[in-house]
Structure 1
């Protein structure tokens, strides 16, 4: 990600330019902020720091700035600002998670570096802060996804990623793909044939053509659109295909 920051992006413009310059990856520290972590152990912090390394939150709390500067971090001054998770786990916020380890959409060290920075006055709590992104987008100081700035000073960041085009994509030509073939689960109940023209055909419990439709592979993810109209997905993990509770291998 290498781009020139427009003059209109005045909030921490130098820091943003350093982030998007394309130089060797450096830690990024959001400092002097009120931090609503949404983590039940850490809670809300004032005058605190959030340290990102790549796509991961590696530190949260006061006093990180000294060590971060030692490590050559890019410093983003968030005086008067509140930092919240950009991805909100509403079940966790409502107290519906049993274990802290399940609070994945929080500003917790080890979690994804997804965060939102808005003025304190617009962040009475996490939902209010997130609502600012949709109701008052010009007030958003920063939106960061997996450690990469998406919005800064109320504007789209140059070189940011773009959402995929709406609509059903064209069929993939998967000729020669090692994932084309018949996948069979451990109990020999589900046989899922993936063909090179982007079609699948499932046999379930000996019932042929139980489900048929189109599929697309993106990295290790597979998306299905059944001819009945519903969507489903699976994931390739090593030499296994995990789908709807089934674990299959190519036969």
Structure 2
């Protein structure tokens, strides 16, 4: 754990983020941007606005007083995006506007801070975040610190309850019933107990499994073990190549 990442500093950060009176400034790290044009910056700073990156690069700390920034010392640390766009890192995007998750000013402030001893390069830094989150100094999502010295903070969202997979939410009730595509090939019945049953081309029980609905999206977990997805748009169910209406 990094001695600079103290509980007292976290308390100041959490209190500050209620109104975001001070921008957060992470200083002195090796920053892997995963950007099509810029790979890495040494001894670099990241200045956060409210949810997005204002500036990235060396020397920003010289204006910390002017900006009334809350400074987080990241000397001996490595910063990497938590949304990893391997295409951008490999230069395979058709244009820079296609880059996602890069630590470029204007993009969402979502990144991890890892001790350099655990992150000899960008790949090992990302691997540490995934395999050893308890050893990560900090994780920032959308400009808010959600992990600090390996522990979830009060900013972290509630963990999803995996035991609820297939449980029908209250929002599912308007969608319970039989859905039939425009060619009459696919019949998909959504039942009130959180199950679905598909008839395809007159073949009953072609696929069966559990489903659950969140917002306009529907996730399926088939009894065969695969996952699928659909979306309700203006009362119409879009599921892969099929467009289904309720009958």
SS at match of 1:178: helix
Equivalent residue, structure 1, for 2:47: 51
**Aligned pairs (5 A) from 1:141-220:** 141-152=137-148, 154-159=149-154, 160-167=156-163, 169=165, 171-172=167-168, 174=170, 177-185=173-181, 189-205=185-201, 207-220=203-216
* 1:78 is the counterpart of 2:74: yes
Q: What corresponds to 1:39 in structure 2?
A: 35
Q: Which consecutive unaligned segments of at least 5 residues does structure 2 have?
A: none
Q: For residues 58 and 189 of structure 1, do their structure 2 counterparts lie closer, same or farther at Cα, with a shift above 3 Å needed?
A: farther
1:187 Cα deviation after fit: 5.7
Which residue of 114, 120, 123 maps to 1:124? 120
Give the drift of 1:235: 3.6
The whole-number CA distance in structure 1 between the counterparts of 2:106 and 2:190 is 36
Q: CA–CA distance in 2 between the matches of 1:151 and 1:174?
A: 31
Measured on the aligned residues, the alpha-carbon RMSD in Å equals 3.7
Question: Number of matched residues?
Answer: 243
- The answer to whether the Cα contact below 8 Å between 1:39 and 1:107 also exists between their aligned partners in 2 is yes
Distance 1:46 1:218 in 2: 42
Return the alpha-carbon distance in structure 2 between the equivalents of residues 224 and 59 of structure 1.
41
**Equivalence for 1:18:** 12
Q: Distance in 1 between matches of 2:210 and 2:141?
A: 30
For normalisation by structure 2, the TM-score amounts to: 0.74
SS at match of 1:151: strand
> Take 2:234 and 2:190, find their aligned partners in 1: how far apart are those partners?
17
Please list every run of 5 or more consecutive structure 1 residues that lacks an aligned counterpart in the other structure.
1-7
